[in-house]
Amino acid sequence: MSLIASDNRRIIIGLGATGISCARHLARKGVPFAVVDTRENPAGLEDFKAAFPDVDVRCGELDADYLTQASELIVSPGVAISHPAIRAAADKGVHLCGDIDLFIREINAPVIAITGSNAKSTVTTLVGEMAAAAGIDVGVGGNLGTPVLDMLAEGEQALYVLELSSFQLETCHDLRANVATVLNISPDHQDRYPDMQAYYQAKHRIFRGCGHAVVNRDDALTSPLLPKGVTTSAFHLGRADLNLFGVTRDDTGNDWLAVGQEKLLPVSELKIRGQHNVANALAALALGKAAGLPMEAMLEALRKFGGLKHRCQWVADKAGVSYFNDSKGTNVGATVAALDGLGPTLGDARIVLIAGGDGKGAEFDDLAAPLARYGRAVVLIGTDAPRIREVVGAIECRDASDMDEAVTLATEMAEEGDIVLLSPACASFDMFKNFNARGDMFIAAVEKL
């Protein structure tokens, strides 16, 4: 597959899971391509060369002159399009895209597109479960689980529910989702974006060409500027109303998920705990209704859904203390959501938070208020532990060198009825392979108590 042999020359930038899925897709279609990677020796390089022996592969510093030979650069999410060599090629007219645009070119099925700083994996999975409960052949993937192009290997499905990161959306020009949402916006990836405005703009690319937008009424930053003809609906944790999913209290004092005047499901029947998960359930219902999913199937899926691993996952109750694993809380907004979600369920009890890691350039000030309301103590780990310590206020704060010590210290400080919550507000890479490994180590430490 010689790069120079085609008038439509494509170069894939990045040999991670997404880049390799792009290579498989182009190979299936018989489209010539080359591959570059900024790393000298990316993982799986030899396997890739064995699978694609005729593909030109170049590793190391990106060559602007080489990239400019292409008609299209397919940029993996892990590579910033602000890279000087990529920008130089774009300035000379080379088109930039990503795997999502390649995917959209191939399908006719409707798409539900979901992004947000937090909860997008939970809501994406839940909407997929709702569609499956309705008997629909649904594909669920994107930033979550299966790369989108790999979903095409077995043929087109009837519906796609896609979790999309801001990095994927940067290179997404023609999504045209049938239903799209930004669940929430809070500071994240400030090591990649120059400011919050740039991050916000990347997220809102999800609404380009959409048919229906779902808005979080509790977060003004999720409301898009839309052309006439695009319908909208919304969700929030307040009272339900017309085209607004919310919470309605009945005459006996029980809270219900509702829309308009219709009570849908008692909140007590949800297996997922916390106010943030009530919001996730409402978001999924709003997305599913906009996509035409039957309400009965959606409610059946909600009753069964137990949540995702590492996302406010209940681990154990030991000596009157509950342990929750929210290792996916990789930014401040996620940890605030976990504290505000679990805190109101505790009565007079409190939360002992385990936090810290690589903060990705974010500020931690927003942790102060929920910790003041619900926190008993904080155990700090990782590179940015000193920066978190500066904002936690008068709450007792202790340092741990590893996860075993963190769990031991948190258990010592917890009182009966309390929650020990791992929700780091940081990335994991300074101490762990990834957030999954961090969460697994937390679970193992709890099990050893």
Catalytic residues: 120, 143, 189
Instruction: Say how far apart CA 332 and CA 264 lie, in whole Å.
Output: 32
DSSP state of 93: T
Radius of gyration of the chain (CA): 23
243 — phi, psi (to 5°)?
A: 55, 20
Report which DSSP code applies to 237: S
**Is the Cβ–Cβ distance between 57 and 33 less than 8 Å?**
no
Place of tokens 């206020």: 393
| Residue corresponding to tokens 């000193």 | 386
Q: How far is CA 285 from the centre of its chain?
A: 18
Residue 442 C-beta-side C-alpha neighbours within 13 Å:
36
Element (DSSP H or E) covering residue 97:
strand 95-97
Q: In degrees to the nearest 10, what's the CA dihedral of 219, 222, 227, 229?
A: -70
- Euclidean distance between CA atoms 357 and 28, whole angstroms: 41
Q: Are strands 57-59 and 72-75 parallel, antiparallel or unpaired?
A: unpaired
Closest CA to 434 of 330, 290, 335, 338: 330
Q: How far apart are CA 433 and CA 435, in angstroms?
A: 7
Provide the 10 A C-beta neighbour count for residue 268.
8
Token duo for residue 256: 């219900």
The amino acid that residue 180 corresponds to is A
Beta bridge partners of 323: 316, 420
Residue identified by tokens 């890479």 is 429
Q: Residue 422: in which H helix or E strand, if any?
A: strand 419-422
CB 353, CB 378: distance < 8 Å: yes
The residue with tokens 């938070």 is 353
Give the 3-state secondary structure of residue 368: helix
The total number of residues written for the chain in this structure: 449
